[in-house]
Amino acid sequence: MPRRPTPAKKTAAELFEEARELRRRGAVDAATGVYRSLQRAFPESQEARLSYALLGRLFLERKQAEQALVQFDNYLARPGAVAEDALAGRAVAFEHLNRRADEAAAWKTLLSRYPQSIYAGQARSRIRELGLDPAP
């Protein structure tokens, strides 16, 4: 009996693109699975690193704050180009989890690293709502 050829292993870039396309089509569960496969198969790749921030956003959109927080923390362990977005996502995840002190600390971290951030207004507003002095 002839052996069937095994399918070629996908590259990190191919997995990333597959997840992006699935997400674009609204297949969020499938995209989540592909992002997780990417993270397992190519943990040191640029695509896997970026996938942590993107998957964090997906989890936030689905009101899965604990899972979002894990993804953002993984991204921020070695931040890159979207660190500002990951910090904001982290703060929002803490808000959804009603972890007020952690949320305030996350917003303050964002403001200290990115004082001109597109999230600065939101950060200051939330810090005020939490009853803390707004960061400059």
pLDDT tens digits for range 33-55: 999 999 999 999 999 999 999 99
pLDDT tens digits for range 69-99: 999 999 999 888 999 999 999 999 999 999 9
Q: Which residue has the tokens 């999230």?
A: 119
pLDDT tens digits for range 92-136: 999 999 999 999 999 999 999 999 999 999 999 999 999 876 544
Task: Report whether 40 contacts 52 (CB < 8 A).
Answer: no
Looking at the domain that runs over 12-129, which CATH code has it been given?
1.25.40.10
**pTM for this prediction:** 0.87
Q: Map out the domains of the chain as residue ranges.
A: 12-129
